[in-house]
Structure 1
Amino acid sequence: MRRAIFALAIVTLILASPALAGDAEIKAGQATIDGQLKAFMADDGAAAYGFAAPNVKRIFPTVDTFMNMVTNGYAPVRKPRTYSFGKVQEMSPTSIIQQVLIVGPDGKDYEAVYTLEQQPDGTYRITGCSLRASNALST
């Protein structure tokens, strides 16, 4: 009886928890973010823009408008000193949210939360990014 209750509790916990993305999806999403961050650091706006999803490209239809937005509103993402991947969550079979912990050019800690959507060709592209100062301590 105890085993049945324990098993039921585990199944309930799993079903109540948000689904986690599979390893392949996580790696694909992280590779997309990593590629964009490396392109930003290399001052390669065209490459960085290539990681943006169509919804972002509709709002920022040129590399220049996209890079101006990133430079003026997302300095820690534009020129991170360091970054590492944090928590990840699957929102749907084709959509993930990835936390990125960043030390910005000012030496302060930031948390960037990326949303990514799988495209028809199977690649993941960035649909959005929110940025906030973090209370985490850098090492």
Structure 2
Amino acid sequence: MRVGAVAAFALCLAGNAHAQPAVSDADRAAIREVVTAQIAAFRHDDAVAAFSFAAPNIKARFGDAQHFLAMVRSVYPAVFRPRSFTFGSLTREASTLQQKVGLIGPDGASALALYSMEHEADGTWRIAGCALIKAPSREI
């Protein structure tokens, strides 16, 4: 039943794919790599690696990797230790791109993460923020 819920949630995320603005395949892939690498760093409790994917505004706000990791651990458990995650649509929001990521958290609850992605002067993509929205459960 869990696989069905994940699949239904993933289809819901992909529903607006046709309305996405023109984003290069290279940028789309780079954004997915950054989010995936940060989640992998969280899974390994690698604060320095996780912090390296944060945009300058996030780095300035938290000051160091350990404070950042502690915040994510306590406030964003579905991002910190997802059972699984699926990429959804990528849309333009003002000067950033917003990457939707469907998550199944450590407690089995579905959530939607809205990653604000910032393109840096050196050409890299960094995570400028993440809003977590509890998704309605598809299970009976």
User: Shared fold by TM > 0.5?
Assistant: yes
Aligned equivalents of 2:113 and 2:29: distance in 1? 17
- Structure 1 portions without partners, runs of 5+: 1-16
Normalising by structure 2, what TM-score? 0.80
SS for the counterpart of 2:38 is helix
Q: Deviations over 1:10-43 (max 9, x none)?
A: xxxxxxx662322111111111100100110111
Identity value in percent? 36
8 A contact 2:41–2:49 mirrored in 1: yes
C-alpha contact (below 8 Å) 1:21/1:96 kept by paired residues: no
1:131 aligns to 2:132 (yes or no)? yes
Larger Rg: 1
Query: Within 2, Cα distance between the matches of 1:111 and 1:53?
Result: 20
Determine helix, strand or coil for the equivalent of 1:20. coil
CA distance in 1: counterparts of 2:76 and 2:117, whole angstroms: 17
Which is bigger in relative contact order (C-alpha 8 A, separation at least 6)?
2
Give the one of 15, 18, 21 matched to 1:19: 21
Partner of 1:43: 45
Residue-pair matches, total: 121
Name the TM-score, length of structure 1 as normaliser. Answer: 0.81
Q: Structure 2: how far apart are the matches of 1:18 and 1:68?
A: 34
Root-mean-square deviation (Å):
1.7
